[in-house]
Amino acid sequence: MKRIATLLASAAAAALFSFAGAATAQECPRGDLDERFCDVDGDLIADIPTDPAQQVDPDTLIFAYTPVEDPAVYKEAWSDFLTHLEKETGKKVVFFPVQSNAAQIEAMRSGRLHIAGFNTGSNPLAVNCAGFRPFTIMASKDGNFGYEMEILTYPGSGIEKVEDIKGKQLAFTSPTSNSGFKAPSAILKADFDMEAERDFEPVYSGKHDNSILGVANKDYPAASIANSVLSRMISRDVIKPDQVISIYKSQTFPTTGFGTAHNLTPDLQDKIRNAFFNFEWEGTSLQAEFEKSNEGQFLEMTYQEFWEVIRKIDAANGVSYACK
């Protein structure tokens, strides 16, 4: 009888635990977010943990900017802003030169990255897998923002229109990039009935500057790139405008999204937000670099609204936000 009573007690406890788990799941809606996160307010990004024990307030903050080009270029470009961020938060801030989108997402997922600018295509993965909470993008002084995906070739390549890429190579950057892979894949399939492997050979350069230089130097016959990066490279005389020809230009997409890790304390997240929005661009290293692509302020935004078109592109490509 004692054994039966013990088994019944264990079963009751298991049932109670199961019920409690179900209740917790009901109280913690998450949509596409990883099971570690909650989205009670339905804004599609991870909520700040309500338990103070799950919040972090590090003495040193780690910042990373999307690896669209050589990280060394951006360590200097962001230096004045990071000094400002130190003053606003009262903490040391370190620039982390990530080498890939995947490494950047993994750094935030594992708690080694606190503040970041994730590229357009990586934002959904960073939000859903790493708990990224984006809240701002760069914009021009008059409030315009975004960039276009362009497909480039070089003079004399024999490519005059998109259909001419058939049977040739097309350089992408990486599978997590919007303009470097996701958008052109969806557009080529929907508008031109062209698919990688079947109609052209896909190759991967790793970064936008590699793709642009690859076309300019005639290593790739064509490449899909973000034209904001192209503008900055031309402004720095990395390439000459006549080295490349654009054969396709897309609609405008949101550019890099900036935000924080979800589990920073609310007070620290507020200080970081304020640092972005009260930063004075004039005469800074940030202005010197990003005015080349006509950017001069941080504009408040929401992931739910601004990234809707990117989520639709992902859906068209069959992209899953499941975390590995």
The per-residue DSSP string of 118-180 comes to E-TTTHHHHHHHH-EEEEEEEE-TTS---EEEEEEE-TTSS--SGGGGTTSEEEE--TT-III
Q: Does residue 86 belong to any structural domain of this protein? A: yes
CATH, residue 204: 3.40.190.10
- Segment holding 74, helix H or strand E: helix 71-77
pLDDT at 32 over 60: yes
Question: Cβ contacts of residue 139 below 8 Å, gap of 6+?
Answer: 145, 295, 296, 297, 298, 299
Average pLDDT over residues 142-147: 92
Task: Determine contact, residues 94/270, Cβ cutoff 8 Å.
Answer: no
Q: Are residues 244 and 115 in the same domain?
A: no
pLDDT at 3 over 80: no
CA distances from 182 to 120, 122, 179 (A): 10, 10, 6
Provide the 10 A C-beta neighbour count for residue 298.
21
Give residue 147's identity as a one-letter amino acid code. Y
Q: Are residues 56 and 110 in the same domain?
A: yes
CA dist., res. 34 & res. 131, Å (int): 8
Q: In this predicted structure, what is the pLDDT of residue 269? A: 98
**Structural domain boundaries, residue 214:** 147-253
Q: Are residues 65 and 211 in the same domain?
A: no
Which of 223, 253, 283 lies at the terminal end of a domain, its last residue?
253
Q: How many CA atoms lie within 13 A of 82 on its CB side?
A: 21
pLDDT band per the 50, 70, 90 thresholds, residue 16: very low
Q: Are residues 258 and 138 in the same domain?
A: yes
CA dist., res. 281 & res. 185, Å (int): 36
Q: Does residue 84 belong to any structural domain of this protein? A: yes
Q: Are residues 182 and 87 in the same domain?
A: no
CA dist., res. 231 & res. 198, Å (int): 32
Q: Which of 97, 92, 128, 129 is nearest to 110 (CA)?
A: 129
pLDDT band per the 50, 70, 90 thresholds, residue 103: very high
Number of domains, the chain: 2
Q: Are residues 65 and 139 in the same domain?
A: yes
**Segment 255-311, tens digit of pLDDT:** 999 999 999 999 999 999 999 999 999 999 999 999 988 999 999 999 999 999 999
| Mean predicted lDDT score pLDDT of the chain | 90
Q: In this predicted structure, what is the pLDDT of residue 281? A: 98
Q: Are residues 140 and 258 in the same domain?
A: yes
Q: Does residue 185 belong to any structural domain of this protein? A: yes
**Segment 225-235, tens digit of pLDDT:** 999 999 999 99
pLDDT at 157 over 50: yes
CA angle, residues 236, 242, 244, in degrees to nearest 5: 90
pLDDT at 35 over 50: yes
**Segment 201-221, tens digit of pLDDT:** 999 999 999 999 999 999 999
Q: Does residue 259 belong to any structural domain of this protein? A: yes
Task: Determine contact, residues 79/285, Cβ cutoff 8 Å.
Answer: yes
Q: Does residue 98 belong to any structural domain of this protein? A: yes
pLDDT at 13 over 60: no
Q: Are residues 167 and 244 in the same domain?
A: yes
CA dist., res. 301 & res. 307, Å (int): 10
Give the predicted TM-score (pTM) of the model.
0.79
Q: Are residues 195 and 208 in the same domain?
A: yes
Average pLDDT over residues 156-164: 98
